[in-house]
Amino acid sequence: MRTGISELAIRLRNREISAVELTKAYIGAIEKQNPALNAYVHLTFDTALKAAEQADEMLKEGDAPLLCGIPMALKDNICTDGLETTCCSKILKGFKPYYDATVWEKLKKQGAVLLGKTNMDEFAMGSTSETSCYGAPLNPRNTNYVTGGSSGGSAAVVCANLAVYSLGSDTGGSIRQPASFCGVVGLKPTYGAVSRYGLIAYGSSLDQIGPLANSVKDAAIVFDAVKGVDKRDQTSVDYDYGSSLAECLDRDIKGMRIGVAKEFFDGINPEIKSKIEEAIKLFERNGAVIENISLPALKLALPVYYIIACAEASSNLGRYDGIRYGYRTSSYTSIEDMIVKTRSEGFGDEVKRRIMLGTYVLSSGYYDAYYKKACLIREEINREFDAVFEKCDVLVAPTAPNTAFPLNYKGASPVEMYLSDICTVPVNIAGVPAISVPCGEDAGGLPIGMQIIGRRFGEATVLQAAYFYEQCAGKVIGAYEGGAGI
């Protein structure tokens, strides 16, 4: 099993290894493997080494935070002062933010060492990371397959041990689905638990930043470090989680009520279904109470998600006009022409599709039939989740209906690709937390993910259930050999 954050922290404190040595080991591994994997799109080795030196100073002084000196990565839509942040879009190429996202500001203060920014679907719109303007990252488990998306690079760097942990963002499954495809752990926190300040907006009422890590404990440690209210994000919530969640993982699940909603299992690949059912039996054998429940509005979750997310995206992406930052077209005849050409040349096809759908559902004559109605159904989905969590502590479901797609898979239309988000989008619509944990492999050796969903601000229970499963099932997927070798 690979070394976790807590063990690395002990080794750093015992001077068995310095933060600079640790960082150099990761830099070496990235230089060797990233050209093939394409998981990082911007490398920040110079600043990483400086940060590592500072981390060593902090460690020497004593009382350094747990994440001090630990090398990590950020998704390319999280703003980093002075370091290129592009959302993997041509329209933002060369853009250097002039402020830090709150999550990065917090981690930096704790001595985190940023190795680079990770590949993703353009503006986080996609399920394979193939819409990136830098080309797709490859799945380290099998490089003929995609990493999933949109936080594909963030999942790949953790999987290949090219970072100890990473942050991603999840609007409709973008942390959990790539975590599932790459066999790592991914946590989408409650909406409002983590500040979105400095996260480049896609669907603002759905977006949430969260960790991808090699174990449930590591994910809990990172969540502990980034959560909290922020006056610069009015949707962040001042919720008191009590003590550190990473320190309360060890809980007997006897009596824990686990809900199983049949709607999450419709149309799921049989191999995945049987692995999740085995996991449910494992919970049951250990004293959990299984409740079979139903969430009828779930079948409307996908169109509701795409309507709301695209409506918000069409508004959020209105700011890319080529005037204040990013790409600008080279020849034009008027200001209007400049804006239209800049956007048409700068955005990729998937982004254009979603802007167009968003514009359509918000346009006069269609607003009531689509956007308003989607918002009403969203309330219904919320009520159903609230009712379910009256009698269940968590829900267990697959993370995705399938394992990783082959690269350049042409067999699916845009809508068929949207359908693959069926298990993850309801969680964002309801704003509840969910984790994806590795749950075995399919016959082809590709990882399968199990999703554990909790009530709003119920991260503690979600993490406890996930930790219990991880401990019980053992490392269900063999640790990836390679990377920094630490």
Partner 1 sequence: VIESSGQTRQQAAVRNGVRIMAISKTEIEKLAKLAKLSFSDEELERFTAEFDEIIAFADTINQSIEGGTEQIRNVGARVVSFDDLRPDVVVPSLPNEKILSNVEGYNGFFSVERSKK
Where do contacts with partner 1 occur on this chain (CB under 8 A)?
94-96, 98-99, 296-297, 299-300, 302-304, 306-307, 314, 318, 321, 323-326, 328, 331-341, 343-344, 347, 352-353, 355-357, 359-361, 363, 366, 368-370, 372-374, 376-377, 379-380, 413-415, 418
CA distance 151 to 186: 10
Burial class of residue 252 in the structure, from the number of CB atoms within 10 Å of its CB (0-12 exposed, 13-18 middle, 19+ buried): exposed
DSSP state of 129: S
Q: Name every residue whose Cβ is closer than 8 Å to that of residue 16 and which is 6 or more positions away in sequence.
A: none
Q: Can you spell out the DSSP letters for 299-340?
A: GGHHHHHHHHHHHHHHHHGGG-SSSSSS---S--SSHHHHHH
Tell me whether strands 394-398 and 257-261 are parallel, antiparallel or unpaired: parallel
Point out the catalytic residue in the list 75, 117, 227, 275.
75
Is residue 234 within 8 Å of 23, Cβ to Cβ?
A: no
Selecting among 127, 129, 132, 150, the annotated active-site residue is: 150
Q: Which two tokens stand for residue 415?
A: 């809508």
**Residue 167: CB minimum distance to partner 1, A:** 23
What gap in Å lies between CA 364 and CA 397, rounded to an integer?
A: 38
Omega into 315 within 30° of 0, i.e. cis?
Answer: no
CB of 12 to partner 1, least distance (A): 34
Q: How far is the CB of 299 from partner 1 (least distance, A)?
A: 8
Neighbours of 387 (CB within 10 A): 12
CA distance 183 to 181: 6
Residue 243 or 334 having the CB closest to partner 1: 334
Question: How many other C-beta atoms are found inside a 10 Å radius of the C-beta of residue 251?
Answer: 14
Q: Which is closer to partner 1, CB of 14 or CB of 334?
A: 334
User: Is 109 a residue of the active site?
Assistant: no
Q: Is residue 174 annotated as part of the catalytic site, yes or no?
A: yes
- Min dist CB 251 to partner 1, Å, is 35
**Which of 174, 180, 215, 236 does the annotation list as catalytic?**
174
* Cβ at position 420, least distance to partner 1 in Å: 13
Q: How many helices (H) and strands (E) does the chain have?
A: 15, 11
Q: How far is the CB of 328 from partner 1 (least distance, A)?
A: 7
Which residue lies nearer to partner 1 by CB, 47 or 359?
359
The rounded distance, in Å, linking the Cα atoms of 66 and 418 is 39
- Which of 234/243 has CB closer to partner 1? 234
Do 402 and 444 contact (CB within 8 A), yes or no? Answer: no
To the nearest whole angstrom, how small is the minimum distance from the Cβ of residue 313 to partner 1? 11
Assess whether 75 carries a catalytic annotation: yes
Least spacing, CB of residue 332 vs partner 1, in Å: 7
Closer residue to partner 1, CB minimum distance, 272 or 297: 297
* Closer residue to partner 1 (CB): 209 or 307: 307
Exposure b/e, 399-430, CB count within 10 A at least 16 = b: bbbbbbbebeeeeeeeeebbebbbbbbbbbbb
* Closer to partner 1 by Cβ: residue 186 or 431: 431
Give the residue from 433, 386, 424, 382 showing the smallest Cα distance to 402.
424
Cα 216 to Cα 273, 286, 346, 425, 441, distances in angstroms? 22, 19, 38, 22, 18
Please identify every residue annotated as catalytic: 75, 150, 174
